[in-house]
Amino acid sequence: MPNPLFDAIFAPLHGRDTPVLHLQDGRQINGSAFHAQIARFGNALRALGVQAGDRVAVQVAKSPEALAVYAAAVGIGAIFLPLNTAYTATELDYFIGNATPAVFICDPARAEALTPIASAHGACLLTLDAAGQGGLAELGSDHSATFTPTTRAASDLAAILYTSGTTGQSKGAMLSHTNLLSNAATLAELWRFTPADTLLHALPIFHTHGLFVASNVALLTGGQMIFLPGFDAATLLRLMPQATVLMGVPTFYTRLLDAPDLAQAARNMRLFISGSAPLLAETHQAFEAATGHRILERYGMTETNMNTSNPYLGERRAGTVGLPLPDVELRIMAGGTEVPRGEVGMIEVRGPNVFQGYWQMPEKTAEDLTPEGWFLTGDLATLDAEGYVSIVGRAKDLVISGGYNVYPKEVELLLDEAPGVLESAVIGLPHPDLGEAVFAVLTPRKGDVVDPESVLASIRDRLARFKQPKAAVVMAELPRNAMGKVQKALLRAQYKDWFAATS
């Protein structure tokens, strides 16, 4: 195949005169119009000199045009690099410096602030706003709607997605055409997607879940998407009667449960899927009681796309993430050997979904990816007698807040720089809306008084909002074990009711 991912997912839109995207305001975009948009962007990027293998970085609001940029980048053989819209200039400087994209597309409102970053790293800066307008759109309108994709091998890279690291340094996960296409095809079959499906799409498209699981699966199977800028419970309920499938993080489901008329809105739905963070068994049960639907929970990550899923027809077991996907091998390891069923170990996975390594970080790649192709996920789990996987914890120091990952180290490094702070410990605490929320424990330097609010204010412009602690407290010193390691488990136990009590 000349361009495996493009040919399977986007080329079939050409000549399709039925809608592919439905927008909140009632507008519809049919397949051929969307393909023409992709072609114009692809031709414009080529005219700018973007070559196969170059990175195309984007930090733009979710829109049909933003999705078209993904398709265009893949179509011209470039490597698509989407960035969370919450990232600050400080964070972007790192990503752009590390990935050195040929082009960086940002919101026009941020262009002035980001120009020095783009210039410093040799990227051409273009703009695209939430309405699909900006420099890229203007360039695109000068170009042809006829498009020939650039030939790529199945093992060539299609995307790089950054994932934060336990050391505080983000790593770019390199994903090949095969990684993305094999996983989309496996999920489409497992979840019984057909051209008759309409996916309610309210996730961001800068992460695996919204971009690869949701968009790739719906487009690969010739379905339609109700493409929303973000999550709003009332809008989802209004549009749900026109949809068949919803994919969301657990916060979507807890919020929907609080909304009136959920049962009525869900009547025509075929499937509700949850992932990216643990879905509490009680949410699963409450949703079934309210709607009659058993949410299908699956488990994945940036480096591997999806690894496991509850079955479509068999038992969807609450509190588990289901069975390994048909083409994914999964084992639970401790001390170099597989643990007996029922015992806890770390999940390792191998298969066509597993990434190609971290961008320009061979040592970090070697830490997590064995020469035999096993990826060490850092997730702790058990297997039951039927092979269902239950995630019971994480070996990595990680907080998952509303489906976004926050690595405490990155936050601690900034907090430790605040005036008067000796050291800090960042932990995740149970939160009724976000599942877990970020919380900081600060200790003062000798003789200093630390005001938690001023400390939080000092990092406000340097870190994406979702990573910033929702609350902070001061302690005289952090609890440590005999080895001197901060005992975060003790802190989590001490403050476990903080958000339940305050929200």
Q: What is the smallest separation between the CB atom of 490 and ligand AMP, expressed in angstroms?
A: 22
* Residue found by looking up tokens 């058993």 in the block: 294
Does the protein bind ligand AMP through residue 297 (CB under 6 A)? Answer: yes
- Residue number, 423 or 495, with CB nearest to ligand MLC: 495
Enumerate residues 6+ apart whose C-beta is below 8 A from 234.
259
Q: How far is the CB of 379 from ligand AMP (least distance, A)?
A: 5
Site for ligand AMP in 364-403 (CB under 6 A): 377, 379, 391, 394, 400
Q: Considering the complex, what minimum distance in angstroms separates the CB of residue 413 from ligand MLC? A: 19
Site for ligand AMP (CB under 6 A): which residue of 37, 176, 224, 405? 405
Task: Give CA–CA dist 361/372, Å, rounded.
Answer: 18
- Judged by CB, which is closer to ligand AMP: 108, or 430? 430
Compute CA distances 178 → 137, 158, 428, 477, whole Å: 30, 9, 35, 50
Please, what is the minimum distance in Å from the beta carbon of residue 215 to ligand MLC?
A: 12
| 8 Å CB contact between 318 and 310 | no
- Give burial (CB, 10 Å; 0-12/13-18/19+) of 419: exposed
Under the rule (CB under 6 A), what is the footprint of ligand MLC? 203-204, 207-210, 230-231, 249, 251, 275-276, 300-302, 401-404, 434, 465-466
Does 163 participate in binding ligand AMP (rule CB under 6 A)? yes
Compare residues 276 and 310 and give the one whose CB is closer to ligand MLC. 276
Collapsed DSSP state (helix, strand, coil) of residue 476: coil
Contact range with ligand AMP by CB under 6 A, out of 40-48, 269-277, 407-415, 432-440: 269-277
Q: Which tokens go with 89?
A: 């200039």
Q: Among 354, 262, 279, 286, which Cα is nearest to 319's?
A: 279
* DSSP SS3 for 428: strand
162 binds, among ligand MLC, ligand AMP, none (CB under 5 to 8 A by kind): none
Least separation in angstroms between residue 210's CB and ligand MLC is: 5
Q: Which residues contact 86 (CB under 8 A, 6 or more apart)?
A: 464, 465, 466
Position 54 contacts ligand AMP (CB under 6 A): no
Our CB check for ligand MLC shows the closer of 183 and 208 to be 208
DSSP state of 12: G
Q: Which residues pair with 427 in a beta bridge?
A: 439
Contact 84, 467 (CB under 8 A): no
Binding site for ligand AMP (CB under 6 A): 163, 208, 275-278, 297, 299-302, 321, 377, 379, 391, 394, 400, 405
